Amino acid sequence: MNVKIAAAQYDISFLDTWKNYQQKSERWVKDATEQGAKILLFPEYNTMELASLFPETVYSSLNLSLIEMQTVHEAFSHLFQDLAQEYQCVIQAGSFPVLISDGVYHNRAYLFMPYGETHFQDKMMMTRFENEQWLISAGDELKTFDTEFGRIAINICYDCEFPLLARKQVEMGANLILVPSCTDTVAGFHRVKIGCQARALENQCYVVQAALVGDASWSPAVDVNVGAAGIYTPVDYGFPDNGILSSGEFNKPQWVFAEIDLQNCENVRAEGQVFNYRDWSRQTGIST
């Protein structure tokens, strides 16, 4: 089944009111769905712009911004639940730093479904900044999610640089991996992009990356954001020769679109020029 997917190059904003955030979110969702998209992907830590709703003493502090953002977590969830139902689409709404227990935060990527269900995947591999400075902890469970278009999974940014995570999700049936990302250097962007393309290559599946863009000098968490969205594929018969189905203009706020069919992954695994997915197990026992 063909489905149009939209990956955001989402510009972080300084917000004066919750209404501004609500209107911005709806504008982005409406724009994508009016162009036929049924799966929407936002970038990692896009929700940190919500910290700007609070006083400077809050949004300028890594710790206080996390604490105060919990007060808008429920409103954020309701907003995207409503948008997914109103516009009848699947929305991976980026990521939100969620308080799990006393002093413990997870970087959580929510998946909002068109009939009201809400799912989530927590980030598994934390960067140095998250682990050493921001004190956000890793999750402990990999998941997959069923949609009318096929089974999908989420790798949050740095997660996609570790092949065993995506491999487990693909073995659980996922043929599409969504990668919300947030990178503050060109090198960081390319690390994630290369990770996405490698996961698409070795698993013969689709991998889609969204990117946070723009400067937010007011925020110590997401002050600089660079990158581009991309929709990546296997490199084989029926797919682009470079494995890039679509990509955006670097650092420009926009949606990046492509038509995909998750059944194509099964086809190339059976009839491809090479069998990366099938041959994975042949690595076992190789001496190093």
- CA dist list (Å): 38 to 85, 86, 88, 149: 11, 12, 7, 9
Place of tokens 């490698």: 198
Q: Of 49, 89, 123, 182, which one is the catalytic site residue?
A: 123
Question: Residue ranges of the alpha helices (H) in 161-278?
Answer: 163-171, 186-203, 263-271
Task: Provide the CB-side half-sphere exposure for 78 (13 A, CA).
Answer: 6
What token pair was written down for 182?
Answer: 């947030």
Nearest-Å Rg of the Cα atoms of the chain is 18
> 252 catalytic, yes or no?
no
Helix (H, G, I), strand (E, B) or coil at 116: coil
Place of tokens 């990999």: 142
Helix (H, G, I), strand (E, B) or coil at 210: strand
Element (H, E) at 127: none
Q: Of 38, 44, 68, 160, which one is the catalytic site residue?
A: 44
> 44 catalytic, yes or no?
yes
- CA dist list (Å): 224 to 228, 255, 264: 14, 20, 37
Cβ contact 157:227 at 8 Å? no
Looking at the annotation, which residues are catalytic? 44, 123, 157
